[in-house]
Amino acid sequence: MCPQKPEPGSAEESELLEGGEIELLGRMPWSSNATFLVKLDHGGRESLAIYKPRKGERPLWDFPRGTLCEREVAAHLVSEALGWGIVPRTILRDGPAGVGALQRFVEHDPEEHYFTLRERFPDVFRRFALFDVVINNADRKSGHCLRDGNDHVWGIDHGVSFHCAVKLRTVIWDYEGEPIPPADLEALGRLGERLGGDLGRDLTVLLSGAERQAVEDRLDWLLTQRVFPHPLTEYPYPWPMV
Ligand SMILES: Nc1ncnc2c1ncn2[C@@H]1O[C@H](COP(=O)(O)OP(=O)(O)O)[C@@H](O)[C@H]1O
Ligand SMILES: [Mg+2]
């Protein structure tokens, strides 16, 4: 089965995600939460998506219970506001196992990941590195970077992000100490404006007040430093790394 793929960012993509009927196809291997591959059907048009119901989230000691799906959506909104197209469209929606995050499925070759792609896409991964600082991503594994058939690299699995405490754990440390490219600084500056307006308002329903403020603080810090940070904690890597 190979449902036709809607263009990323297209109206068709949102219609399918927002209004498509959800059919569970199976649980994803290697997922730490209950993460399902689903088929969406909207008036005969079909596509695949990843569905992470809130009630399938594995409890964690450091994140409030049942909030990972909101963090996935918040990551998508920040990615959109930056204009970097890192996170595939992700929405919060009711599904067969209750409310959860629903994200467009990215067709990709699972043999590829950050460590095999980084030489080909250094500018893309610079943006990943900055994005991860802003959202305080605690789990940027190499395998959370997927290249699609159009050579666009997407980031997935942002459920453990946006904590107030510094938790940046990532495999992308190649650029530490480098100046941030001017175009990326501009995008980060624009993100600051959006945080003061529409994006800030959208995040209020997805994150706590303190977490939302922490996004602004990390962004201000990056804009002041103007360099890619060095590791911020003693063990700055995810486990496992791929
Ligand atoms: N949007 C996506 N497109 C394609 N594959 C995905 C997507 N999201 C997740 N996956 C696949 O599902 C696996 C588990 O998803 P992940 O987001 O890591 O879930 P968990 O929160 O359970 O760790 C990933 O390793 C990846 O193979
Ligand atoms: Mg995962």
pLDDT tens-place values along the chain, 242 residues long: 445 578 898 999 999 999 999 999 999 988 889 999 999 999 999 999 999 999 999 999 999 999 999 999 999 999 999 999 999 999 999 999 999 999 999 999 999 999 999 999 999 999 999 999 999 999 999 999 999 999 999 999 999 999 999 999 999 999 999 999 999 999 999 999 999 999 999 999 999 999 999 999 999 999 999 999 999 899 999 999 99
Q: Is 22 in the pocket of ligand 1 (CB under 6 A)?
A: no
Q: Is 57 in the pocket of ligand 1 (CB under 6 A)?
A: no
Q: Where are the domains of the chain?
A: 11-225
Q: Whose CA is nearest to atom 1 of ligand 1?
A: 105
Q: Is 106 in the pocket of ligand 1 (CB under 6 A)?
A: yes
Q: Is 35 in the pocket of ligand 1 (CB under 6 A)?
A: yes
Task: Report d(CA 96, CA 36) in Å as an integer.
Answer: 11
**DSSP readout, 206-228?**
TS-HHHHHHHHHHHHHHHHH-BP
Residue 156 alpha carbon to ligand 2 centre in Å? 8
Q: Is 159 in the pocket of ligand 1 (CB under 6 A)?
A: yes
CA distances (Å), origin 200, targets 101, 197, 214, 237: 20, 5, 12, 29
Full-model pTM:
0.97
Tell me which amino acid residue 161 is.
S
Residue 75 alpha carbon to ligand 2 centre in Å? 15
Looking at residue 2, its pLDDT comes to 47
Looking at residue 5, its pLDDT comes to 77
Mutate which of 5, 25, 31, 242 for ligand 1 pocket (most atoms within 8 A of beta carbon): 31
Mutate which of 156, 169, 171, 241 for ligand 1 pocket (most atoms within 8 A of beta carbon): 156
Looking at residue 31, its pLDDT comes to 85
Half-sphere exposure of 4 (CA within 13 A, CB side): 8
Looking at residue 168, its pLDDT comes to 98
